[in-house]
Amino acid sequence: MTNQPRLSDTQARGVRYARELEGHLGWLDTFSGTALGVLAVASGIYTYLGVSSLLDENGAMSVFAAIAYSVAVSVGIFVFWSYMMRLFPAVRSAQARVGLILTMGVGSLAIVAMSSWLNAAALAGSAAVEQHLAKTVQDYQTSLERAHEVAITAQSLERDVARTRQSFEDLSEQEAAGALSGLAGRGAVFRVLRQKAAELSGLEGQISAQTPLVQSAFAEGNAILSRMRALTVEPGPVEARSVEFSEQAVRLAGLITQLRQLSIAPLVERAAQDLAASVVLPELDGQTEAGRVDQAATITSVLEVLAQRATTLERAAQAVQAQQPPPDVTYTPISSADAVILYARNFIPSWAGAIAIDLLPAVLVFIVAITQAAIRGGREGTAIEDTLTLAELRAALAAARDVETAMTDHETHSAPPDIPLPTKTKAAE
């Protein structure tokens, strides 16, 4: 027999280290499959809840479809990670490891696409829909306040109209005293000034009549907003609350439109344009030619002042109309899955949990791969017979004896039988 070289202390420690790791892996393998199955089933349950929230019908066929999808997801997750947990630690070449890592990345993306977002919908779907409702309330509040601000600004044109009306009334009083044309009384100039003052007074009354309507619409809009805010936090299924929320949103949108229509600025602009364009000139009633000439000159001056005041009023109305209008807001009901995606930034913990339950086995795959590499490193440079345990040696000796016994029996049965030699007869002798 040839003498085998003895193991060095470093090699012996490496062999003991590898055997220790193998023992741990053997114990962990007893429940790794069960743990992986539990994770797959848990993911399937949440996937079922997420799929159920997407289905419009609640019949038996919808339930069966949701169950079938969730079962397929569970089986797919279990099989995929079982493959990875067995094959990735076993391969040794860099090319094979890179290929399996890329495969693992593609499979993880597929798992996130078919399961994780539905898990997130199940975990945070109701909260995400409530977030959508709250965001819609804020948008409607902004639109309502802006519409009210524009309407109130338009109502402030009443002061400009009143100031212009008052100026024409003052001029008419001066004309009545003879301070303008030099002819005291209520002549042609007086009637022109009173005519325009009456037009402005009517416009002022229209603006004043709009004020209670604006305030009433704004108060009703705030009441609707209060109800919508309450619906976002009330207990109970969010689907039922969304129905009433949608009804309130329609009412509020109508009130915002009404507030926009209550803006008096377009009417003031048209009235200002007509103020100087439509003047009914009365017949000059001066007693003398000189008096009638003075009246005509005064009326011309009045028309110039009238055009200036009309331009000022028109510009004020245009400035109101040039203000930024209230934003158009439309409430669109969305499912819990869509809400989770739309407001993903607000539900990062839920997304993290939903993805972690599907991709946690990837950590186990790398743990096993690192441990297997350590085992191979511990056995590096040692012969096979040096790494055998006592139980493995006994099993090998028993197998060798069995092989030897089988070969002996085979030789015994395959040997040719002994042929007796022929005996001489007496005649031959």
The per-residue pLDDT for range 341-373, each reduced to its tens digit, is 888 888 888 888 888 888 889 999 998 888 888
CA-CA distance, 57 to 66, in Å (whole number)? 11
CA-CA distance, 381 to 365, in Å (whole number)? 26
Q: How far is CA 322 from CA 227, 275, 309, in A?
A: 32, 21, 20
Torsion angle (degrees, nearest 10) of CA 15, 21, 27, 31: -140
- Average pLDDT over the chain reads 78
CA-CA distance, 243 to 264, in Å (whole number)? 35
Q: Under a CB-based contact definition with an 8 Å cutoff, are residues 231 and 136 in contact? A: no
Length of the chain: 429
pLDDT score at 424: 47
Q: What is the pLDDT of residues 112-138, one digit of tens each?
A: 888 888 888 888 888 888 889 989 999
- Contacting residues for 130 by C-beta, under 8 A, at least 6 apart: 232, 233, 238
Run of H or E including 244: helix 238-261
Q: Under a CB-based contact definition with an 8 Å cutoff, are residues 268 and 154 in contact? A: yes
Q: How far is CA 185 from CA 124, 182, 292, 305, 330, in A?
A: 82, 10, 14, 21, 61
CA-CA distance, 191 to 220, in Å (whole number)? 45
| Between 155 and 302, the higher pLDDT residue | 155
The tally of CA atoms less than 13 A away on the side-chain side of residue 126 is: 13
Torsion angle (degrees, nearest 10) of CA 377, 383, 388, 392: 120
Of the pLDDT bands very low, low, confident and very high (cuts 50, 70, 90), residue 428 is: very low
Q: Which two tokens stand for residue 79?
A: 């099989």
Q: Which two tokens stand for residue 400?
A: 């060798």
Mean pLDDT, to the nearest integer, of 213-241?
88
pLDDT score at 427: 42
Q: Where do the structural domains in the chain lie, given as residue ranges?
A: 9-125+347-384, 126-336
Structure pTM?
0.66
Run of H or E including 348: helix 348-378
Q: What is the pLDDT of residues 369-410, one digit of tens each?
A: 888 888 777 666 555 555 555 566 667 677 777 787 877 766
The tally of CA atoms less than 13 A away on the side-chain side of residue 63 is: 3
% pLDDT > 90, the chain? 12
Q: Is the pLDDT assigned to residue 6 strictly greater than 70?
A: no
User: What angle do helix axes 348-378 and 117-155 make, rounded to 10 degrees?
Assistant: 150
Domain 126-336 has CATH 3.10.450: no
Of the pLDDT bands very low, low, confident and very high (cuts 50, 70, 90), residue 411 is: low
Q: Is the pLDDT assigned to residue 102 strictly greater than 90?
A: yes
pLDDT score at 382: 55
Q: Under a CB-based contact definition with an 8 Å cutoff, are residues 214 and 204 in contact? A: no
3-state secondary structure of 197: helix
What's the DSSP call for residue 232?
H
Mean pLDDT, to the nearest integer, of 231-250?
86
Lowest mean pLDDT among 39-43, 163-167, 225-229: 163-167
Of the pLDDT bands very low, low, confident and very high (cuts 50, 70, 90), residue 186 is: low
CA-CA distance, 78 to 40, in Å (whole number)? 6
pLDDT score at 287: 52
What's the DSSP call for residue 186?
S
